[in-house]
Amino acid sequence: MPRRPTAPTLPFARSLRKRMTSAETILWRALRGSRFEGRKFRRQVPVGKYIADFLCVEE
C-alpha cells in the first residue's frame, strides 16, 4: 500500500490527472474499470515523494 503523500505532491498529482498526454489517455482507457486482467489501476498516484503514472494497488 502506498505511503501517505506529502502535502506538495497531492495537488501536483491532481493537476497531472487533468493534463494527461494522448498516450496516457489511450492507456488509461485500457486499464480503468478493471479491464486489464481484472486488475484495478489508479493513475497519477503519489508514492512517497514520487508520483506513479499508473499503479496496481493489488500488486
Render pLDDT for 36-50 as a digit per residue (tens, 0 to 9).
Answer: 888 999 988 888 888
**Residue range of the domain that includes 31:** 9-56
Whole-model pTM: value is 0.64
Asked if residue 2 is part of any domain, the answer here is no
33 belongs to a structural domain: yes
- d(C-alpha 1, C-alpha 39), whole Å: 15
pLDDT tens for each residue of 1-59: 555 555 667 787 777 777 888 998 899 889 888 888 889 999 888 888 888 889 998 87
Residue 27 lies in a domain: yes
Residue 4, domain member (yes or no): no
Predicted local confidence at residue 1, as pLDDT? 53
Residues 6+ apart with CB under 8 A from 39: 31, 56, 58, 59
Q: State how far the Cα of 57 lies from the Cα of 20, in Å rounded to an integer.
A: 20
What per-residue confidence (pLDDT) applies to 20? Answer: 83
